[in-house]
Amino acid sequence: MPKFSYPIPRTAEITPKAAFLNRRAVVAGLTAGLATGLAGWPTIGRAQPLPGFTSGPYSTDEDLTTKEVATGYCNFFEFGPAKDDPAQNAHMLQTDPWSIMIDGLVDRPGPIDMDDILRRFALEERIYRLRCVEAWSMVIPWIGFPLAELLAYAGVGSGARYVQFESFDDVSVMPQRARSLLDWPYTEALRLDEATHPLTLLAVGMYGDVMPNQNGAPIRLVVPWKYGFKSIKSIKRISLTASQPAPTWHVKSPREYGFYANVNPGVRHPRWHQATERRLHDGTRIRTEMFNGYGDLVADMYAGMDLEQHY
């Protein structure tokens, strides 16, 4: 059973604001490094520290997955289907400049750029469990801020009930995605109460560093009580809607990829047995917990729902 230390933040590790505001230089350095044409991005040696974050709530104290594993064993199908494809191919992604378009039922529609995001929202580290529907799991120290803060900034319009996310999509940057299986761009969606839940994070870094491209740079979603495919990478657009969107994997195979996709060992999956999971850091197999162990924080949102029916 995972142990969480919430809601009291762990030790604060505040870095001077000047260093934090220097992110542009960090990203510029990163881009320049890539432009030198060094192959095999990223290596651990080239990771860029992300300054200016504190320790946030809801962290588990379980052993971390190593950074090598979390950055080398990835699902980012735009960059190819094999687990090591994203680490090999995602160097093509240019993450500076970057903006997210916020539209639909919001009071302040329009683009917001990464520098503005990083100035406005305080970053915190949160160590979350990540459970993939393929029955493996990791424990990752993300750095980010609650999605709720961005939505409050945009102003949730009356009638908004869902939030849809769309990933970056450009076949010239992601030639591997042409021969892959999905309808691009990759989209995902949450109900508004899920999107504004304090656990739901927009992550811009991991392991103390700027988010590696293959993990969804420069900004991705992390929803720890749901299967990993809900945690969409390299977000370019966030739209608030009145009706339930149709996310990419859900459209592809609704039985395998439910709209809710809450981690649930009781739901029969046609391909992967969900009762247990393989932890990638030590290869052990553990029992899968309902809501990935976050039930005391999220179960209320689904009171009265048949969670097998509404997988």
Positions that interact with ligand MTE (CB under 6 A):
74-78, 130, 132, 167, 186, 215-216, 228-229, 231-234
Tell me how far, at minimum, the Cβ of 304 lies from ligand MTE, in Å: 29
The rounded distance, in Å, linking the Cα atoms of 310 and 19 is 46
Residue whose C-alpha is closest to residue 13's, from 121, 123, 120, 115: 123
Tell me how far, at minimum, the Cβ of 165 lies from ligand MTE, in Å: 9
Neighbours of 65 (CB within 10 A): 23
Tell me how far, at minimum, the Cβ of 182 lies from ligand MTE, in Å: 8
The DSSP result for 77-109, as a single string, is GGG-SSTTHHHHHGGG---SS-EEEEEESBSS-
The rounded distance, in Å, linking the Cα atoms of 120 and 218 is 16
Of 144 and 228, CB closest to ligand MTE: 228
The letter for the amino acid at 140 is I
Instruction: Name the token pair of 3.
Output: 């142990």
Of 81 and 157, CB closest to ligand MTE: 81
The rounded distance, in Å, linking the Cα atoms of 134 and 10 is 31
CB-nearest residue to ligand MTE:
228
Tell me how far, at minimum, the Cβ of 163 lies from ligand MTE, in Å: 15
Of 231 and 262, CB closest to ligand MTE: 231
Of 150 and 219, CB closest to ligand MTE: 219
Cβ neighbors of 11 (< 8 A, separation 6 or more) are: 55
The DSSP result for 223-256, as a single string, is -TTB-GGGS--SEEEEEEESS----HHHHH-TTT
Of 95 and 231, CB closest to ligand MTE: 231
Tell me how far, at minimum, the Cβ of 205 lies from ligand MTE, in Å: 12
Of 200 and 231, CB closest to ligand MTE: 231
Tell me how far, at minimum, the Cβ of 100 lies from ligand MTE, in Å: 14
Instruction: Name the token pair of 13.
Output: 């590790």
